């Protein structure tokens, strides 16, 4: 039985974003190990992984820290874990697992190494900077002799090509995001009035939270019965939304802050439209895939990763990034066409079925893994 180590920087993503992939790997006959920070402290995540047949491992990794000593420690612990497990293959996703995990895997002699690029992130995909140049250099080191790179959108692959990174890998493919489980997120009836706009995201400025709040304030001046609901969680990043701003938006009554949820399905079921005004360098946002599968229209930005989920004017609207005015206009337009929401939702569901079915995405990933063993 070939052994495979999946490396993540966020433990809950192993369940929420990669659970179907991990189960597919186990069903395909792999002995699957998973590594992420603080797994032993999260009994729900750990027990879920064990129930599937995966073997969890802790790895000390702070995904937002810029302390080089922390990163050196992370690299060494990756190397020690790999020397201990001696897996036949490693698949890593998000920046630090890709950079340090795959670099350590090469030095540890792991014969097959795969990078899953689930978005560029703010540091790598943002404006040119010293940090970006450093990350490109580190990726170049990690990609040396890589078996394959799996991208979630074509724009990200083009970025890696422009920076000469794919010449270090033997192959690359583009899959349709992380996919969505069509059974877990079944098509649901469209709720009636009043309109409810839902945003689900990390509470980062680059996710467009302020634009969402601004559009909510302006929209509710015309339609005070409407609701704008925000599901999200804080992270220790430079562009986090401050607690004061969040409190102001709530106190004004224009925004309902729900907080963090393990299961967002009830919120999506109660939403008329799902909104993500992100200008963060996304892969394909999972919240938008869940909205598609549930049969909800989408308003999002015309940016890499986001625009893949919307056929403009058919199942939602694409808007320019960082424009609360454009977001407001899209919200008003979709509200004025309330009788068309159900049809827009049906188009969303068909898009989920034809392009974003997690079974199809995982089949492409498994084929890429298997090709590395032939």
Whose structure tokens read 């979630």? Answer: 152
- Compute how many other C-beta atoms are within 10 angstroms of the C-beta atom of residue 72: 11
Model confidence, pTM = 0.91
- Distance, in Å, from the CA atom of 286 to the CA atom of 188, rounded to the nearest integer, reads 18
pLDDT for residue 168: 73
> What tens digit of pLDDT does each residue of 82-123 get?
999 999 999 999 989 999 999 999 999 999 999 999 988 777
**Right CATH for 196-355 from 3.30.479.30, 3.10.290.10, 3.40.50.360, 3.40.50.2000:** 3.40.50.2000
Q: What is the predicted pLDDT for the residue at 236?
A: 61
Cα 55 off chain centre by: 23
> Which of 274, 309, 315 lies closest to 152 in space, CA to CA?
309
Low-confidence ranges of the chain (pLDDT < 70): 63-67, 235-238
For the chain, give every residue range classified as CATH 3.40.50.2000: 3-179+357-372, 196-355
pLDDT in the model for residue 366 = 96
CB contact set of 24 (below 8 Å; sequence gap of 6+): 359, 362, 363, 365, 366
Q: Are 205 and 241 in contact (CB under 8 A)?
A: yes
Is 64 within 8 Å of 235 (Cβ atoms)? yes
Q: Which residues on adjacent β-strands are paired with residue 169?
A: 146
Take residue 299 and report the two structure tokens written for it. Answer: 């308003």
Residue among 77, 109, 111 nearest 7 (CA): 77
User: 366 and 190 in contact (C-beta within 8 Å)?
Assistant: no
Predicted local confidence at residue 166, as pLDDT: 87
CATH number for the segment(s) 3-179+357-372:
3.40.50.2000
């Amino acid at each position: 039985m070939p052994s495979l180590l999946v490396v993540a920087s966020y433990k809950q993503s192993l369940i929420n974003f990669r659970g179907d992939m991990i189960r597919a790997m186990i069903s395909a006959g792999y002995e699957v190990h998973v590594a992420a920070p603080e797994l032993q402290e999260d009994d729900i995540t750990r027990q879920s992984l064990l129930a599937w047949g995966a073997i969890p491992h802790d790895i000390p990794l702070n995904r937002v820290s810029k302390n080089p000593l922390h990163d050196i420690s992370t690299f060494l612990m990756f190397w020690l874990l790999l020397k201990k497990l001696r897996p036949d293959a490693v698949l890593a996703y998000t920046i630090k697992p890709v950079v340090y995990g795959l670099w350590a895997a090469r030095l540890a002699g792991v014969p097959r190494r795969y990078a899953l690029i689930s978005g560029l992130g703010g540091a790598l995909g943002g404006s040119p900077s010293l940090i970006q140049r450093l990350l490109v250099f580190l990726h170049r080191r990690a990609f040396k002799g890589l078996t394959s790179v799996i991208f979630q959108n074509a724009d990200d692959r083009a970025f890696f090509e422009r920076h000469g990174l794919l010449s270090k890998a033997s192959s690359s493919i583009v899959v349709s995001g992380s996919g969505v489980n069509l059974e877990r997120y079944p098509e649901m009836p469209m709720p009636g009035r009043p309109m409810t706009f839902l945003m689900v995201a990390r509470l980062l400025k680059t996710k467009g939270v302020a634009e969402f709040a601004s559009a909510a304030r302006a929209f509710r001046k015309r339609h005070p019965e409407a609701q704008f609901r925000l599901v999200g969680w804080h992270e220790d990043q430079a562009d986090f939304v401050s607690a004061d701003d969040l409190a102001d938006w709530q106190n004004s009554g224009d925004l309902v802050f729900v907080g963090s949820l393990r299961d967002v399905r009830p919120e999506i079921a109660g939403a008329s439209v799902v909104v993500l005004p992100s200008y963060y360098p996304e892969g394909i946002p999972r919240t938008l895939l869940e909205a598609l599968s549930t049969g909800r229209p989408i308003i999002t930005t015309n940016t890499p990763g986001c625009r893949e989920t919307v056929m403009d004017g058919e199942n939602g609207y694409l808007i320019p990034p960082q424009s609360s005015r454009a977001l407001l206009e899209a919200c008003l337009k979709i509200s004025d066409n309330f009788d068309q929401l159900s049809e827009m939702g049906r188009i969303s569901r068909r898009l989920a079925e034809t392009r974003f079915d997690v079974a199809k995405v995982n089949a492409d990933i498994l084929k890429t893994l298997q090709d590395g063993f032939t």
